[in-house]
Copies of this chain bind each other. A is one copy, B any other.
Amino acid sequence: MESVLNIKLSEKLYHRNPVETELGRKIISQSIELIHELGIEDFTFRKLALYMNTTEAGIYRYFENKYRLLTYLVDWYWSWLEFQISVRTKNLPDPETKIKKLIHLLGTPITDDVNTSYVDEKLLYEVVVREGVKTYLTKNVEEDNKANLFKPYKDLCKRIEAILLDYNSEYKYPRTLASTIIETGHFQSFFSLHLPGLTDLNGGKENTKVIRFLEDLVFSALSKK
């Protein structure tokens, strides 16, 4: 077994399942590196083929185009994160601690998970922060949504929603708050690194300040008046 943790993703995402072959797994790991380096706009399958010493046609056998590949990577990340959250909050005593834990998990690029050999989670986290929204902010969202391409994201939102409701079952917008936490965590983390003028959260080590902001925001929203 190459990987202890096996993440199953929709077959609509690929032509040939990349986790089943050597080349497929190499496409995953190397594309994370190259998208990280170039950004999705400048990233091409030709460049990836050169980068990993294979042929363009070979990559097209696995993925229809670079946006499908990106969606695959992002979906993989959401599934992995949901798994992390489920495992790491399971035995926590109360909902408050759970919420703190999950905000922490959302904001912290975890050091490379030894159970997933061909994915560098730290790098993937940065790719998801910068490129993730580009999977759904498109003209064909609805079509892609019908094909269930955003299921892992929805599942993650639902899990977070359940934890939020556990803390305050009266709260009116649990799912909205769930997606807000995820997206806000990402773009504030991006701002603090690259556009410091847009946030008060710079300077701190890692994302500690983003995490504190989110805690403040979430607990004030959830507290009953």
A interface residues with partner B (beta carbon < 8 Å): 38-39, 41-42, 67, 130-131, 133-134, 136-142, 145, 150, 153-154, 157, 172-177, 179-180, 183-184, 187-188, 190-191, 194-195, 197-201, 213, 216-217, 220-221, 223, 225
Task: Output the nearest chain B residue to A132 by Cβ-Cβ distance.
Answer: B137
Number of copies: 2
| A42-B138 Cα distance, complex, nearest whole Å | 10
Q: Nearest-CB distance from A154 to chain B (Å)?
A: 5
Q: Is the pair B195, A136 in contact by a Cβ cutoff of 8 Å?
A: yes
Quick one: which of B139, B179, B201, B216 contacts A191, CB cutoff 8 A?
Answer: B179
Quick one: which of B38, B142, B177, B183 contacts A183, CB cutoff 8 A?
Answer: B183
Given known contacts A179-B188, A220-B221, what 16 new A-B pairs fall within 8 Å (CB)?
A41-B138, A130-B137, A133-B133, A133-B137, A134-B134, A136-B195, A145-B194, A145-B197, A153-B198, A175-B199, A176-B191, A180-B188, A183-B187, A184-B184, A217-B217, A217-B221
